[in-house]
Amino acid sequence: MKLRSWSFATTLLLSVGVAGYAVWAYSNGTQRVPVHPDMVAAFDRHRALITTHAVASALALLLGPLQFLDSLRAARPRLHRALGYAYLVPGVGVGGISGLLLAHHSYGGLVSHYGFGLLAVLWIFTGVMAVVAAKARRFVAHRTWMVRNFALTFAAVTLRLYLLLGFLSGLRFEDFYPAIAWLCWVPNLLFVEWVTLRPTAPLNPTP
């Protein structure tokens, strides 16, 4: 299997896994995996909003990798377009707006509030730019914005990975969680900027 195929398979597996976890953990109106008492209290106060954010973000995680399948886009362009709108509107749109509303209530004070708030703003912005580019038939720009957008979607995965590292490190949750509000997405975006800005870099991982 080629390197790009391994990258795509790993991305897809992690995305599906975290999406399934999010639906299982939040979609029934309870928080099945309480991380911190303050976060449980926040969930109780904003149950509907957090559930909406979790389900919408899970949809984006599930559909996002499919947008980078060259074979699907070439053979079924209408399906590619339909999945793209499902990814961007109920996924990124609803997930981003609900995430922005929740940022003020995130655990960790102003550091977390600004970290998650800026993530939500950029998630929505890159999604809008992807649609604008597609409508203008600027498909190279569209794919570039979609890569950036999915890098931000993938923050749901990297957040869980950093949480695991934080717990394994033995640090106190209140000490490492505010940093994760930034670490979960800034390195992702920096990486794709480095990749997409390279003239010879492929924009579409193909399995």
Cα four-point dihedral sign 81, 157, 109, 119: negative
Q: What is the pTM (predicted TM-score) of this model?
A: 0.89
CA dist 45 → 20, 38, 96 (Å): 24, 11, 19
Rounded to whole angstroms, how far apart are CA atoms 124 and 25?
24
Residue 14 identity (one-letter amino acid): L
In b/e form, how buried is each residue of 97-108, taking b as 16+ CB within 10 angstroms? Answer: bbbbbbbebbbb
Cα four-point dihedral sign 163, 165, 171, 176: negative
CB atoms within 10 A of CB 183: 19
Is 48 buried (19+), middle (13-18) or exposed (0-12) by CB count in 10 A?
A: exposed
Query: Which residues lie closer than 8 Å to 12 by C-beta, 6 or more apart?
Result: 65
Query: Which residues lie closer than 8 Å to 111 by C-beta, 6 or more apart?
Result: 178, 179, 181, 182
Quick one: pLDDT at residue 37? 79
Chain CA centroid to CA 198, Å: 23
- Helical H runs in 36-185? 37-45, 47-63, 70-75, 77-86, 94-103, 109-135, 139-153, 155-169, 173-183
- Give the three-state DSSP class for 93: helix
DSSP state of 33: S
Answer whether 14's CB lies under 8 Å from 46's CB. no
Quick one: pLDDT at residue 81? 93
Q: What is the maximum alpha-carbon separation in the chain?
A: 50
pLDDT in tens, the chain (207 residues): 444 678 888 999 999 999 999 988 887 766 777 677 778 788 788 889 999 999 999 999 999 999 999 888 889 999 999 999 999 999 999 999 999 999 999 999 999 999 999 999 999 999 999 999 999 999 999 999 999 999 999 999 999 999 999 999 999 999 999 999 999 999 999 999 988 767 654 545 444
Rounded to whole angstroms, how far apart are CA atoms 28 and 53?
13
- Give the three-state DSSP class for 118: helix
